[in-house]
Amino acid sequence: MEILIGWVALCFAVAAWAHSKGRFAFGWFIISLMLSPLVGGVIVAALPKVGKAALPRDEAGQPITDQTHVRCPDCRELVRRDARKCKHCNTALVPQ
């Protein structure tokens, strides 16, 4: 019985950890309950954080956000806000 309580408590710990990484806590609770809290914990540990860390980055390693990039009106690719020419389709752009 103690093992079962410990098992569920560890599953809660994995769920709380997953939640702190921006993941779906209940889903990870169920996964841990089914497989084992150890397996769930290892998978959560390997997962990257959701949120700011998951932002796409340009080739210079800078995060791409609404403040730094706009969508090209022609090809819909993301280009730098201060660009005068789209690097994907060479359309002339008006820097914003």
Which residues bind to Zn ion, rule: CB under 5 A?
Answer: 72, 74-75, 86, 88-89, 91
**H/E element holding 21?**
none
Q: Please classify residue 81 by burial: count the beta carbons closer than 10 Å to its beta carbon, then call 0-12 exposed, 13-18 middle and 19+ buried.
A: middle
Q: 3-class DSSP state for residue 39?
A: helix
Q: Cβ 64 to Zn ion, closest distance in Å?
A: 15
Q: Cβ 70 to Zn ion, closest distance in Å?
A: 10
Q: Cβ 75 to Zn ion, closest distance in Å?
A: 3
Q: 3-class DSSP state for residue 32?
A: helix
Q: Between residues 27 and 58, which has the closer beta carbon with respect to Zn ion?
A: 58
Q: Between residues 15 and 86, which has the closer beta carbon with respect to Zn ion?
A: 86
